[in-house]
Amino acid sequence: MFRLRRYRYYVFFAAIAVFLIYRATKDSEQWTSVSASIPHAKAPKSAPARGFGITNKQTSGKSDTRFSGEDDALAQHLLDKAQKEPQQVKIPDLKPTATEDAGDKFEVPTPITTTDQTQVLVYDKDAAAKTTTAPLIDIPDKNVGQGAKGGKGIHGAPGAQKTKTQTATTTIHWHKVPEHFPVPEDEIIPLPTGKPKPIPAVQYEFTKESTDAREKRLERLAKVKAEMVRGWNGYMTYAKGHDELRPVSKTFRDPFCGWAATLVDALDTLWIMGMKKEFDEAMLEVEKIDFTTSAFRSEIPVFETTIRYLGGLVAAYDVSGGKAGGYDILLEKAVELAEILMGVFDTPNRMPVLYYNWKPPIASLPKRAQAGVSVAELGSLAMEFTRLAQITKENKYYDAVARITDAFYEWQERGTTIPGIFPEHVDATGCNRTAEAEIAAKKAALEAQQNQIELGESNSKTAKGKTSPSTDEINHQIESGKEHSQGTLNRRSAVGTPDNNGTEKAKAVHSGEEVYTPSEGTPSPKDERDPGPSELTAQDGFLDSQKEKQKDKCVAQGLAPGSWSSSEQYSMGGSQDSTYEYFPKQWLLLGGLEPKYKTLHAKVTAAVKKWLLFRPMVPGDPDILFSAKLNTWGNPESDAVVDWEVTHLTCFIGGMFGMGGKIFEIPEDVEIGKRLTDGCVWAYETTPSGIMPEGASVVPCAEVNNCHWNETLYWEWLDPLFESRNEQIAEFEEQQKERKAQKAQKAKMKGHKNLGVASGEIVSSEGRINNSRPVDFDEELGGSSQGVASSSLDSLGIHKRAPPTPIGPSSNGNSNTGRFSEKSTQAADLEDEPVMNTNSDPTITSAIDDEEVPLSEADDKSEFPDPASPMSHKKFVENKILSENLPPGFVSANYHAYILRPEAIESVWYMYRITGDTTWRDKGWKMFNAIVSQTRTEAGNSAIDNVLVKNSGKTDEMESFWQAETLKYFYLLYSDPNLISLDEWVLNTEAHPFKRPT
């Protein structure tokens, strides 16, 4: 019995052991499957493959930009990675080496504050290997912060703040989705090939400078660099990894998806200024940027992202030496971002969606470009994608922007209201809405006619002889109308439209975008996977309501005016500027091999000269020019309304005219560029702060070559109602004469026997006062005592003055702060009236008759108050100038802020490099000192609210273009002219230099 019990225990423990062994085996299998699902990353490249075997020297000769075999291999490697999903971006080892400071080459004085070298993070292979970058295409969900948000700054100080608390929620990432409107391989527009054409030199042939001039230049150069160093340290301390620094509060903000806009935008500036250690430190932050997700925006602003991020990465790759420089991560990140942005071109006419919802449920839906987009946003993507195509040798990037150029070229040839230039707002949908409405109306009318006839046939035999049009006949008429309404469209632009790609699409609006999804019964051949919950939600809302008759019936057209009003606006300013800037620059970037850009530029400058350029009438008669804004309703010869504006954004035009005049050999345009640039310099020097306002207006000269200051005319512009104001003064003076005559007449009436009698008493015909029957005007006339008594007294020739407000309390002890009522007035009059004997001699007169004296001046004004005199023309103008702080010559300055813009100094730099005239350096130095003195903060520089006063309030914003453009142009103005020579480089609208082909 005992032995049986003992074996029972053995069996029990054996069962437990078997169960534990079984569970251990299953757990092992699970861990094996998990480890197998993690993609294996290859070992990083060795240090020599991507080390720092580079120098910071700037060569004075032209650099060869032909692509070597290494370039081809790198480009193919990057493209293969971009097309495979999923695969991680490799981060190879980096080996730092000591490099030469570019500042030494240009002999910048050494006492410049810079980042403490002992606390600068060095970009090395260990740090790079520890940095995790999101996979390029299909990325698993993860929680990764943007950059180093909330971490420590470069000096060990705590970060400014944390934007979001870490949660367990899954981060959404963009991933590549199938295209709905792909371009066939044989129709992709290739980069122009062949040897670049000979292009005239842009830069002046500078000679050796004197010792004094050199010392002066280097002193200025050092001060500009010191401003950059302070601002960069402020950004890295308080805003590292974020878009922008708030330089007053020492915090940050993220208006551009939170991808470290300032850092990426300033990369090439760091290199150009010789801030090599800061550049290497920035590389660590570039590694951390994840372009596939954003915690701040669900829509990517395509224009700003392209010029700042894509342009910044490509330019930094170029200036740091390209493939030979060893900073491959710059090109890798540029390709990663470009692959995301390529989704914006997946539309029926290949015009881009300019606010791109990157989240896969929306990004995967078909979409169409918007109506009412700005010219600048649509046309300012060309240089960045073109340069990337040249580096990677991938034509699809060039194809994307070449189609936009083709559309503008076709529109310019077709003709706009102002021939040569384009209205500010553009309809880029590719659909003729008017034609669509006409077709729909025609179809509805025909269907109604057919229904009416069919109804008549079924209800009455009287319609026996009538025949109704068949369905085929109706469709034929509709198609005929469609063909009639449809304009000529470039073949490239028509690729993949809903009508010719074999599928039908149903249209809806989602998040401000027009999107198209497969209609019922026509599943998309591109994506047969099961839709996720977000996609079902996005689609069900409109797919269920879209029937066959509501399918997209787009009547194709090219670009067209997109204003929601009947007017069109033309200018060289905001929302239009950079597209015109890119025409000659793109011609340079392509080595003169694409003639469209030269034609586009030539017609633009001709239109600007005819319609927009004007000379302002200002004190001193300077020979300067500005570009106006024109509104028209379709016939500018007769209905044009011109705004003679002076705007900071338009100041780029001086450099555009100057450079275009050089490369296309038009000396007149170079002179126009000088006068346009001098106009912006004048606008700086005229204000109390020494800084030009965002927007103002002036008086135009009637003749450009014969213009002199006329203060009378200037005052008339300040006061458009000056003529009616003079008429009002004359009318007022005439009324004053009448009032004086009336006062004199009233004064004579002062001695009348009826005057001075108390209210309620009547003077008899014998001249006696009758107290027997007082008159109560409220009772007799039924009105208010205050209004009716006055009317009745008027009828009796009695004019009663309003009593003065009592100083102390009334006789009844109540304080009275308002006007007396009529009854209380009557009581006061009766109490003050002397006692009269009714039985006295009839010749006795009232006591008031003994006081026949003229009205005093005070009494006279109390009874007859003078109306306010209308403001004279002179008074109005003086008040306007004083209240608005208008500088001499300005008619208005309603937009009086300054947000650290670069356009004016940009043109000053171009003029110096083109002409070699050192006075441009002196003009620029005045601008620099004014800007710094008004915007400097401890951590950087801040935008200011009002340039029309000194020491204006600061708005606590430092746009990324302050370091990317403004300080870069100032630095290059005082650097050696061979640094970023205009004969070797071409700069995008964010001042990012791209290498020109040789």
Q: Does residue 150 come out as left (phi exceeding 0), alpha (psi in the -120 to 50 range) or beta?
A: left
pLDDT greater than 60 at residue 15: yes
Q: Does residue 885 come out as left (phi exceeding 0), alpha (psi in the -120 to 50 range) or beta?
A: left
pLDDT greater than 50 at residue 298: yes
- At residue 448 the predicted structure's pLDDT band, cuts being 50, 70 and 90, is confident
Task: Express as a percent the part of the chain with pLDDT over 70.
Answer: 62
- At residue 732 the predicted structure's pLDDT band, cuts being 50, 70 and 90, is confident
Residue 34 confidence (pLDDT): 33
850's tokens: 């003994």
Between CA 211 and CA 91 the distance in angstroms is 47
Asked whether the beta carbons of 332 and 92 are under 8 A apart, the reply is no
Residue 860 confidence (pLDDT): 53
Q: What is the mean pLDDT of the chain?
A: 75
Q: Strands 629-632 and 568-570, how do they pair? A: antiparallel
Asked whether the beta carbons of 236 and 281 are under 8 A apart, the reply is yes
What are φ and ψ of residue 244, in 5° steps? -140, 150
- At residue 161 the predicted structure's pLDDT band, cuts being 50, 70 and 90, is very low
Residue in 559, 394, 562 with CA at minimum distance from that of residue 490:
559
- At residue 397 the predicted structure's pLDDT band, cuts being 50, 70 and 90, is very high
Tell me the pLDDT tens digit for each residue of 917-976. Answer: 999 999 999 999 999 999 999 999 999 999 999 999 999 999 999 999 999 999 999 999
> Which are the contacts of 608, defined by CB distance < 8 A and separation ≥ 6?
420, 421, 572, 627, 653
Residue 475 confidence (pLDDT): 54
User: Which ranges constitute the DSSP H helices of 687-784?
Assistant: 711-718, 722-748, 777-781
Task: Express as a percent the part of the chain with pLDDT over 90.
Answer: 55
pLDDT greater than 60 at residue 998: yes
pLDDT greater than 60 at residue 760: no
- At residue 742 the predicted structure's pLDDT band, cuts being 50, 70 and 90, is confident
Residue 452 confidence (pLDDT): 77
Residue 7 confidence (pLDDT): 58
- At residue 212 the predicted structure's pLDDT band, cuts being 50, 70 and 90, is very high
Asked whether the beta carbons of 741 and 654 are under 8 A apart, the reply is no
Tell me the pLDDT tens digit for each residue of 620-653. Answer: 999 999 999 999 999 999 999 999 999 999 999 9
Residue 16 confidence (pLDDT): 77
Q: DSSP assignment, residue 716?
A: H
Tell me the pLDDT tens digit for each residue of 302-323. Answer: 999 999 999 999 999 999 999 9
Amino acid at 199: I
> Which are the contacts of 553, defined by CB distance < 8 A and separation ≥ 6?
436, 439, 440, 482, 499
Q: Does residue 943 come out as left (phi exceeding 0), alpha (psi in the -120 to 50 range) or beta?
A: beta
Kindly report which listed range (411-415, 691-695, 741-745) carries the lowest average pLDDT score: 741-745
Strand partners, 515: 367, 508
Residue with tokens 């010191």: 226
pLDDT greater than 80 at residue 711: yes
Tell me the pLDDT tens digit for each residue of 116-133. Answer: 433 444 455 345 444 434
What integer is the mean pLDDT of 437-455? 74
Between CA 985 and CA 909 the distance in angstroms is 14
DSSP for 86-145, written as a single string: S-PPP-----------HHHHTT--S------GGGPPP--HHHHHH-----SSS-------
Tell me the pLDDT tens digit for each residue of 864-922. Answer: 567 778 888 999 999 999 999 999 999 999 999 999 999 999 999 999 999 999 999 99
Q: How many CB atoms lie within 10 A of CB 641?
A: 12
- At residue 500 the predicted structure's pLDDT band, cuts being 50, 70 and 90, is very low
Between CA 244 and CA 263 the distance in angstroms is 9
Query: How far is Cα of residue 554 from the mean position of the Cα atoms in its chain?
Result: 31
Query: Which own/partner contact pairs does 389-394 have at CB distance under 8 Å and 24+ positions apart?
Result: 389/191, 390/65, 390/67, 390/191, 390/589, 390/997, 391/67, 391/71, 391/75, 391/314, 391/317, 391/322, 391/331, 392/75, 392/78, 392/79, 392/331, 392/335, 393/67, 393/71, 393/72, 393/75, 394/75, 394/79
Between CA 577 and CA 379 the distance in angstroms is 10
What integer is the mean pLDDT of 479-490? 42
Judging by beta carbons within 10 Å of its beta carbon (0-12, 13-18, 19+), is residue 540 exposed, middle or buried?
exposed
> Which are the contacts of 694, defined by CB distance < 8 A and separation ≥ 6?
647, 648, 649, 895, 896, 897, 898, 899, 901
Between CA 353 and CA 330 the distance in angstroms is 26
Angle at the Cα of 581 from the Cα atoms of 373 and 342, rounded to 5 degrees: 50
Between CA 12 and CA 10 the distance in angstroms is 5
Length reported for the chain: 998
Amino acid at 858: A
Whether the upstream peptide bond of residue 803 has omega within 30° of 0, thus cis, is no
What integer is the mean pLDDT of 820-846? 39
What integer is the mean pLDDT of 354-376? 96
489's tokens: 């469209």
Residue 20 confidence (pLDDT): 72
Tell me the pLDDT tens digit for each residue of 653-702. Answer: 999 999 999 999 999 999 999 999 999 999 999 999 999 999 999 999 99
